[in-house]
Amino acid sequence: MKIKVGFGFDVHQLKEGHPFVLGGVLLDHHKGAFGHSDADVLAHAICDALLGAANLRDIGHHFKNTDERWKGISSLILLTECVKMISEKGYAINNVDAMLCLEAPKINPHVPKMKLQISRAMGIDVDDISIKATTNETMGFIGREEGVVAYAVCLIQK
């Protein structure tokens, strides 16, 4: 058996009047993430973790932000595509551990629904997905609510 670990990171600006999608869940907030797709930093970080573990480069290589096919697309679709790519190389997902960093809104109430959405997109059990959140203690661009960051690690096996 071959076991590999992957790490993913993503960041997006927060802008007034934009929808805020995290983990496939639309959050009620006055600001939202800005990007080419739905700007779901959590899904993007998980995509990069999976792709990295399978040595398949990164999300930007496969889903370019200049390609109109990906404009406004749900990042859960991109996540499903990444799972297909690693499956084609013979890998299965053991687990994903993710961390969100933002000041607001509070994430804890949304974690169960995020885990459900991500588990459906990835075809894995909800218990194999961990999502945590923290603030930046009001420091920097995160503290000023100018951006949101997500980190993810995954374990895959062949």
Q: What is the pLDDT of residues 18-57, one digit of tens each?
A: 999 999 999 999 999 999 999 999 999 999 999 999 999 9
Tally of domains in the chain: 1
CB-side exposure of 116: number of CA atoms within 13 Å?
A: 5
By residue range, what is the domain housing residue 60? 3-157
20 marked as part of a ligand binding site: no
Is there a binding annotation on residue 137?
yes
- Residue 48, annotated as binding a ligand: no
Task: Tell me whether residue 60 is annotated as binding.
Answer: yes
Q: Which pTM was predicted?
A: 0.97
Which tokens hold the place of 138?
A: 């009001």
- Whether omega for the bond prior to residue 112 falls within 30 degrees of 0, making it cis, is no
* Average of per-residue pLDDT across 129-137: 97
24 is in an annotated binding site: no
Assess whether pLDDT exceeds 90 at residue 76: yes
Instruction: Give the CATH number for residue 143.
Output: 3.30.1330.50
Mean pLDDT of the chain: 96
Distance CA 123, CA 78 (A): 13
Position 58 pLDDT exceeds 90: yes
